[in-house]
């Protein structure tokens, strides 16, 4: 459960302290992960045995051509689908090296421009965060996200959520005493993530409710299903 703060006045996180990420009141500590990888009956990783149905197959050698995938439809993000053939480790290495060297050369050639752009973006993020205006369109103003410790289904997941945010560079504060905000009362120990910080946009994207737009390739085409953006709701998935 994560709540966004809609009013600027009197935000309690101004008197908060940085959290001890590994403490959280009742239910403290980190249980053994229940999401550990399941091992298959063959004692390894759950992948099918070579030659099993849907597996690697024993009749295909490393030098034999690979058939094209079932779906070879050209798309905006994938205009030239791979049509099959051979694909070796050397091809993968060359492919990655080309992209890596192109990135390094571009960064070296435009170093000052890139640094100035990053500075301007971060400065604008902080200023818009102070006004509660991060985001696009006519979204309601929000100045911070509040993550209560009490009343959560699993307190350990709250700690995990804070860990993930701090790993991404987000500054997280913790209330030293109880406070009220937007008509709600919060206990001491509540986590507060202000949006007037360099990674304010990232924190807001991760914590606010996401509404995926209806995207169609053509007026009569079926709606496209979400892909990676379907996971941009860290507050719902972790707490």
Q: Is beta strand 144-147 parallel, antiparallel or unpaired with respect to 3-5?
A: antiparallel
Q: What percent of the chain has pLDDT over 90?
A: 39
pLDDT at position 46 is 46
Q: How many domains does the chain have?
A: 1
pTM of the model: 0.58
Cβ–Cβ under 8 Å, residues 188 and 175: yes
Cβ–Cβ under 8 Å, residues 156 and 31: yes
Residue 31 lies in a domain: no
Residue 209 lies in a domain: yes
Give the tens place of pLDDT for each residue, 192-225. 999 999 999 999 988 887 777 788 888 888 988 7
Q: Which residue has the tokens 């202000």?
A: 194
The range of the structural domain enclosing residue 233 comes to 3-26+112-238
Q: What percent of the chain has pLDDT over 70?
A: 69
Residue 25 has a CB neighbour count (10 Å cut-off) of 13
Give the tens place of pLDDT for each residue, 166-190. 999 999 999 999 999 988 999 999 9
pLDDT at position 8 is 67
Residue 122 lies in a domain: yes
Residue 191 lies in a domain: yes
Can you give the three-state secondary structure of 66-90, one letter per residue? ECCCCCCCCCCCCCCCCCCECCCHH
Q: Is beta strand 191-194 parallel, antiparallel or unpaired with respect to 144-147?
A: antiparallel
Residue 97 lies in a domain: no
- The Cα–Cα gap between 5 and 182 comes to 7
| Packed helices 200-207 and 111-131: angle between N→C axes, nearest 10 degrees | 60
Sorting pLDDT into bands at 50, 70 and 90, what band is 231?
Answer: low
Residue 173 lies in a domain: yes
- The Cα–Cα gap between 69 and 6 comes to 49
Residue 59 lies in a domain: no
Distance of CA 181 to the CA centre of its chain: 27
Cβ–Cβ under 8 Å, residues 165 and 203: yes
Cβ–Cβ under 8 Å, residues 84 and 67: yes
Give the tens place of pLDDT for each residue, 128-170. 999 999 876 557 888 999 999 988 889 899 999 999 999 999 9
Element (H, E) at 163: helix 155-167
- The Cα–Cα gap between 179 and 86 comes to 63
pLDDT at position 30 is 44
Residue 55 lies in a domain: no
Which of 94 and 61 is assigned the larger pLDDT? 94
């Amino acid at each position: 459960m994560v709540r966004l703060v809609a009013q600027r006045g009197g935000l309690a996180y101004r008197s908060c302290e940085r959290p001890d990420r590994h403490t959280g009141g009742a239910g403290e500590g980190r249980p053994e992960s229940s999401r550990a990888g399941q091992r298959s009956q063959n004692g390894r990783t759950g992948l099918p045995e070579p030659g099993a149905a849907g597996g690697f197959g024993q009749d295909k050698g490393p030098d034999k051509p690979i058939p094209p995938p079932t779906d070879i439809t050209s798309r905006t993000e994938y205009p030239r689908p791979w049509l099959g053939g051979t694909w070796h480790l050397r091809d993968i290495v060359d492919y990655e090296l080309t992209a890596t060297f192109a990135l390094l050369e571009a960064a070296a050639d435009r170093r000052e421009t890139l640094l100035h752009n990053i500075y301007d973006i971060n400065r604008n993020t902080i200023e818009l965060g102070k006004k509660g205006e991060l985001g696009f369109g006519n979204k309601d103003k929000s100045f911070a996200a509040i993550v209560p410790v009490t009343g959560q289904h699993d307190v350990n997941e709250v700690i995990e959520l804070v860990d993930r945010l701090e790993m991404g560079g987000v500054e997280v504060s913790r209330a030293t005493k109880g406070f009220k905000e937007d008509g709600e009362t919060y206990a001491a120990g509540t986590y507060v993530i202000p949006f007037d910080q360099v990674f304010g946009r990232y924190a807001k994207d991760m914590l606010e409710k996401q509404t995926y737009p209806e995207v169609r390739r053509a007026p009569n085409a079926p709606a496209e299903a979400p892909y990676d953006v379907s996971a941009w709701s860290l507050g719902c998935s972790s707490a």
